[in-house]
Amino acid sequence: MKINKEKIDRVKGFLDEREAARLYELCLDAGKKGPCLEIGSYCGKSSVYLGTACRENATVLFSIDHHSGSEEQQPGQEYFDPDLLDKETGKVDTLRHFRKTISDFGLDDIVIPLIGRSMTIGKVWKTPLSLIFIDGSHAYEAVLNDYEIWSHHVMPGGYLLFHDIFSDPAKGGQAPYLVFQKAIVSGLYDEMPMCESLGILIRKK
Ligand code: MG
């Protein structure tokens, strides 16, 4: 993998090293069949891993985010980061950081930012995708919407990935886990072994 470790370690984000390597590996496999998409760009850490794999396959990564931070990233909340506050508006704005990351890793022609709500974009989306990584808002309704709206766009044999799957409530919020279970129960996917908190499903043919 041609990603500079010191450089990527400086990018803000909540991605374990093993998860990052697995994302890259899965995307390298998937991307031969078509474009990939992630929900939840934040500052672009996972976009670098997915985007680098997309570059090797001469495809693209669509990266969706409204860039105003999730519920838990707002001032006073658990994951608030003052560096991300826009001084003029007093609001969280991750777009500047995201664009810098993408540009620093030379991925401007590979990673395509889609700025808006995943639901709004998903409702008009038509392009089949070889991989979808769901890592947007972790509120139950939001994860459920992302799953219900976007999962139709995964190609047969393509990957549907969920971040932050914790079966133990002591380790993390349960919304992604509950939606992940729902996807498994649908019978539409083959389940692969998890990688840390990364849930991996393959759309059946
Ligand atoms: Mg996450």
Q: Which residue has the tokens 């380790």?
A: 171
Give distance in angstroms: CA of 169 to centre of ligand 1. 16
pLDDT band at 49 (very low <50, low <70, confident <90, very high): very high
Q: What is the pLDDT of residue 2?
A: 82
Give distance in angstroms: CA of 32 to centre of ligand 1. 25
Q: Which position among 66, 67, 97, 138 bears the catalytic label?
A: 138
Checking if the pLDDT of 34 tops 90, the result is: yes
pLDDT of 93-150, one tens digit each?
Answer: 999 999 999 999 999 999 999 999 999 999 999 999 999 999 999 999 999 999 999 9
pLDDT of 57-105, one tens digit each?
Answer: 999 999 999 999 998 899 999 999 999 999 999 999 999 999 999 999 9
The first and second tokens of residue 108, run together, are 């401007």
pLDDT of 167-202, one tens digit each?
Answer: 999 998 999 999 999 999 999 999 999 999 999 999
153 catalytic per annotation: no
Give distance in angstroms: CA of 172 to centre of ligand 1. 11
Give distance in angstroms: CA of 167 to centre of ligand 1. 15
pLDDT band at 1 (very low <50, low <70, confident <90, very high): confident
Report the 3 state secondary structure along the chain.
Answer: CCCCHHHHHCCCCCCCHHHHHHHHHHHHHHCCCCCEEEECCCCCHHHHHHHHHHHHCCCCEEEEECCCCCHHHCCCCCCCCHHHECCCCCCECCHHHHHHHHHHCCCCCCEEEEECCHHHHHHHCCCCEEEEEECCCCCHHHHHHHHHHHHHHEEEEEEEEECCCCCCCCCCCCHHHHHHHHHHHCCCEEEEEEECCEEEEEECC
Give distance in angstroms: CA of 138 to centre of ligand 1. 8
Q: Is the pTM of this model over 0.85?
A: yes
Give distance in angstroms: CA of 81 to centre of ligand 1. 15
